[in-house]
């Protein structure tokens, strides 16, 4: 009888890919982002630029700076995002 050493077969190394952009996803079509820019321009025209499209709250200036075409505040954006992921995975 041989007392072999047990090798742990568990724990295969997995690699995960991190590095997803926060707002700009490459899965988004050019058409979609163009549409959003258009919308932001309309808001600029209407004088509601910088205000959330959903709750009319002032969007964080830092956010506007980072994402000039933003039409939703962070919390509304998050809501939409959540709703989208839920429906797409469901
Ligand atoms: Zn909002």
Give the CATH number of the domain where residue 70 resides: 1.20.120.910
Give CA–CA dist 74/87, Å, rounded. Answer: 20
Residues 43, 31: Cα–Cα separation, whole Å: 18
Question: Residue 3, SS3?
Answer: coil
25 within some domain: no
Distance 58 CA to ligand 1 centre (A): 8
What is the pLDDT averaged over residues 27-56?
A: 89
Q: Give the pLDDT band (50/70/90) at residue 84.
A: confident
1 inside domain = no
**pTM of this prediction exceeds 0.85:** no
How far, in Å, is the centroid of ligand 1 from the Cα of 57?
A: 6
Look over the chain and give the mean of its residue pLDDT values, rounded to a whole number.
Answer: 78
Structural domains of the chain, count:
1
Q: Which two tokens stand for residue 18?
A: 């991190």
Q: How far is the CA of 39 from the centre of ligand 1 (A)?
A: 15
| pLDDT over 50 at 80, yes or no | yes
CA of 3 from ligand 1 middle (Å) equals 66
Provide the domain limits for residue 51.
30-89
User: How far apart are alpha carbons 50 and 70 in whole angstroms?
Assistant: 8
Q: What's residue 59's pLDDT?
A: 95
Q: What is the pLDDT of residue 21?
A: 44
Indicate whether 71 belongs to any domain. yes
User: What CA–CA distance (Å, rounded) separates 53 from 67?
Assistant: 15
Average pLDDT over residues 31-41: 88
């Amino acid at each position: 009888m041989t007392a072999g050493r047990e090798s742990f077969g568990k724990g295969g190394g997995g690699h995960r890919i991190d590095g997803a952009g926060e707002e700009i996803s490459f899965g988004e079509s050019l058409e979609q982002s163009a549409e959003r820019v258009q919308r932001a321009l309309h808001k600029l025209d209407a004088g509601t630029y910088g205000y959330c499209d959903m709750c009319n709250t002032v969007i964080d200036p830092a956010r506007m700076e980072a994402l000039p075409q933003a039409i939703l505040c962070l919390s509304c954006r998050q809501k939409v995002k959540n709703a989208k992921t839920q429906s797409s995975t469901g």
